[in-house]
Amino acid sequence: MTTSPDLSAAETATQERRTGYDAFMMRPMPRGVRTESTVVGGRAALELIPEHMENKSARLLYIHGGAFVMGSPTGYAGFVAQLTNRASIHTVSVDYRLAPEHPFPAAVDDALGAYRELLDQGTPADSIVLAGDSAGGNLVLAALLSARQAGLAMPAGAVLMSPVTDLSMASESMASKNGIDPLFVPEALAGPFAEYLAGTDPRAELASPVHADFSGFPDLLIQVGTHELLLDDATRLAARAAAHDVNVTLEVEAGAPHVFQIGYETSQTAASALDRIALFIGRALEASAHRA
């Protein structure tokens, strides 16, 4: 990687970790999905459009992961295209602003802005599903909380893969899964979370949605593995959403690591999880249309 001599050591390190993360996430594009660059809510975005769509008006809004400091629609394109293909849905993947340059709530504002623009473009809320992994799952929840506060209609549903929901890192699995999680130790998450928060109270609802009231939320699908520090971020979220009368489907995969779905090329467990997400998306859109 070539870096500018004008960059500081910290800026160079930030660029390098982002390049490395995109390389780690990169997957081949499946046949039958074309991509187009666009702008949504004032942010660059990538559209992924499958050849066959039964519902051409429906949209999947994808919010990528990367601990709030890494990730991009380009790096995620191959993975997101799997959902696009399996669900036969036109997808928009937004390039939200990253910390530390743009700390909380910049990414929340960008996720909300993308959702708001889909509505402003004439896409009915009941034709939209949101999805995100890890930090992206956090931003999906924060965007929906912000949308509700702004009086916007809720989408048909939301998909959360290994979502980050408690930036105070108070979930019991942060300790019980330390040493079992093959990807992270708590210290590896604490730094990026602190960069994102930049002094914000980690218990603030838009930063740690597990503390929020989810009344009026759409149907949720949550997938998580038992071998991850964030296991209880997901299970606590499911319990709290259910307590607020949200229809929640929680899938806990034994022995699976963080965002295990990215292993779909070699793991039938991961491939099956993506198939279930696609099925959820279709059912959520159908149910929402019937309620309209």
Gap between the Cα atoms of 89 and 278, Å rounded? 9
Nearest 10 degrees: Cα torsion 97, 43, 222, 89:
-160
Helix (H, G, I), strand (E, B) or coil at 49: strand
Residue 140: is its pLDDT beyond 80?
A: yes
Contact 185, 255 (CB under 8 A): no
Distance CA 177, CA 230 (A): 9
7 confidence band (pLDDT: 50, 70, 90):
confident
Q: What is the pLDDT of residues 264-287, one digit of tens each?
A: 999 999 999 999 999 999 999 999
Residues with Cβ within 8 Å of residue 117, at least 6 apart in sequence = 40, 41
Q: Which two tokens stand for residue 216?
A: 């009026």
User: Which residues are known to be catalytic?
Assistant: 134, 228, 258
pLDDT digits (tens, 9 = 90+) for 9-45: 888 999 999 999 999 999 999 999 999 999 999 999 9
pLDDT at 1: 43
> Would the pTM count as exceeding 0.75?
yes
Q: Is the pLDDT of residue 4 over 80?
A: no
Q: State the Cα–Cα distance between residues 25 and 183, nearest whole angstrom.
A: 14
According to the model, what pLDDT value does residue 2 have?
46
d(CA 283, CA 203): 33
Token digits of residue 22: 């995109």
What gap in Å lies between CA 223 and CA 182, rounded to an integer? 17
> Tens of pLDDT along 65-91?
999 999 999 999 999 999 999 999 999
Q: What is the mean pLDDT of the chain?
A: 96
| Overall average pLDDT of the 176-182 stretch | 98
What pLDDT is attached to residue 278? 98
Of the pLDDT bands very low, low, confident and very high (cuts 50, 70, 90), residue 292 is low
Q: What is the pLDDT of residue 150?
A: 98
Angle at which helices 268-291 and 73-87 cross, to 10°? 70
